[in-house]
Amino acid sequence: MNEGLKISAVSHFYADYQSLDQVSLQIGSGSVHCLLGASGSGKSTLLRLVAGLEIPFAGEIKVNGRILYDEQTNLLPEKRPVGLVFQQYALFPHLTVAANIGYGISHLKRKQRLELVDKYLNLIELPDSGDAMPHELSGGEQQRVALARALCCRPQVMLLDEPFSNLDPRLRTDLRKLTLRLLKEADVATLLVTHDPREALAVAESMTILEKGKVIQSGNVEELYFKPNSLQAAKIFGPVNSISTHHKNTGMPSLPGEITDLSGLDEDGTILVRPEFIQVRHANGDSNAVVIEKTNEGSTTLLLLELESHLKVFARIPNPTSLEVDEQVHASYA
């Protein structure tokens, strides 16, 4: 496997405000890395630095061993082996779909170029749309054209800036699969920016969580979900229970069952428990909590429970459920 994209200790300022602070990450060729964070966390800035649209203040950016940026070098955007798909796709409105895809390969002979464009039109499953204008296509089709246009230049790194955020959820899953398949086949290192943690879990092998320009945690997907290194990192994926184990008054919430994996226990005795690790059922005379809030999430329901010790915990249970607000229930660790 090639080294892929390697970003080392990159910092960046907008005027006097530091948008990125010593960010490092590495993505192997053929794998997908997600950059997750709230808006303003610096994820788009990092993308623009890799593309060469902004210049870092310090650090180093390499692709397969070749330096794109360091103290001496700064390759122009057009010289970098980097493709970028914008959130709004940025298709040229005055060019046909085929001309858009072929834009980056105009150095090839006409025949070769047309063959290559045809090949990509087939790959993105739009074989007959070559003569269409971009505005005649649907959002999902435009997204695929933007991807093909970027892939056509044979980049070694692909940057995707919230590429699926403007699409309806049904389409999103299909398109995600197609996109990932094409990227894998092209063996590019992909950096995908998103603010949707479920999307990150669905597509990425590894991910980096950014907040206010700093890396909070970086690693593979399982690690981040199951072993977050901080409450901040854990909360990215939704509400989480932060439970103190040796606080005198509340103590470990007196729930039946045991937390089997205590590796997440930190120094001050706090452990993070995701809501799905708490089980809830109707109380049969052994109630230890009351439901105070109920949110339907489709396949699951998120409950907010108040324990006898007045501690509040989240629990996530599969749907359908007959539990109601104000009902006395029995909660336990799963």
Instruction: Of 150, 161, 58, give the one whose Cα is nearest residue 102.
Output: 150
Q: How far is CA 139 from CA 122, 172, 204, 317, in A?
A: 18, 11, 23, 35
- Site residues (CB under 8 A) for another protein, limited to 138-157: 149-150, 153
Q: Which is nearer to another protein, 133 or 240 (CB)?
A: 133
Per DSSP, what are the bridge partners of residue 282?
Answer: 329
Judged by phi (left if over 0) then psi (alpha if -120 to 50, else beta), residue 65 lies in: left
Q: How far is the CB of 136 from another protein (least distance, A)?
A: 12
Determine if 82 is a binding residue for another protein (CB under 8 A).
yes
Q: Which is nearer to another protein, 75 or 180 (CB)?
A: 75
Determine if 38 is a binding residue for another protein (CB under 8 A).
no
Q: How far is the CB of 218 from another protein (least distance, A)?
A: 25
- Number of shown-chain residues binding another protein (CB under 8 A): 23
Q: x-or-dash pattern for another protein, window 104-123, by CB under 8 A?
A: x-x-----------------
Q: Which is nearer to another protein, 76 or 262 (CB)?
A: 76
Determine if 316 is a binding residue for another protein (CB under 8 A).
no
Determine if 83 is a binding residue for another protein (CB under 8 A).
yes
Q: Which of 2, 24, 26, 86 touches another protein (CB under 8 A)?
A: 86
Determine if 328 is a binding residue for another protein (CB under 8 A).
no
Q: How far is the CB of 51 from another protein (least distance, A)?
A: 6
Cβ burial 269-303 (10 Å sphere, 16+ → b, else e):
eebbbbbebbbbeeeeeeebbbbeeeeeeeeebbb
Classify the C-alpha dihedral 25-29-34-40 as positive or negative. positive
Instruction: Of 158, 166, 102, 161, give the one whose Cα is nearest residue 140.
Output: 166
Q: Are strands 241-244 and 82-85 parallel, antiparallel or unpaired?
A: unpaired
Q: Which is nearer to another protein, 158 or 272 (CB)?
A: 158
Strand residue runs (E) in 15-101: 17-27, 32-36, 58-63, 66-69, 82-85
Determine if 88 is a binding residue for another protein (CB under 8 A).
yes
- The token pair at 77 is 């955007």
Q: Which is nearer to another protein, 20 or 315 (CB)?
A: 20
Question: Please, are residues 56 and 220 in contact by the beta-carbon 8 Å criterion?
Answer: no
- The token pair at 205 is 């092998």
Question: How far is C-alpha 233 from the chain's CA centre?
Answer: 13
Q: Which of 32, 47, 68, 84 touches another protein (CB under 8 A)?
A: 84
Q: How far is the CB of 80 from another protein (least distance, A)?
A: 7
Please identify, among the stretches 17-25, 100-108, 224-232, 324-332, the one whose residues bind another protein according to the rule CB under 8 A. Answer: 100-108
Determine if 170 is a binding residue for another protein (CB under 8 A).
no
Determine if 292 is a binding residue for another protein (CB under 8 A).
no
What whole-number distance in Å separates Cα of residue 210 and Cα of residue 253? Answer: 32
Q: Given the rule CB under 8 A, which residues bind another protein?
A: 51-54, 76-78, 80, 82-84, 86, 88, 90, 92-94, 103-104, 106, 149-150, 153
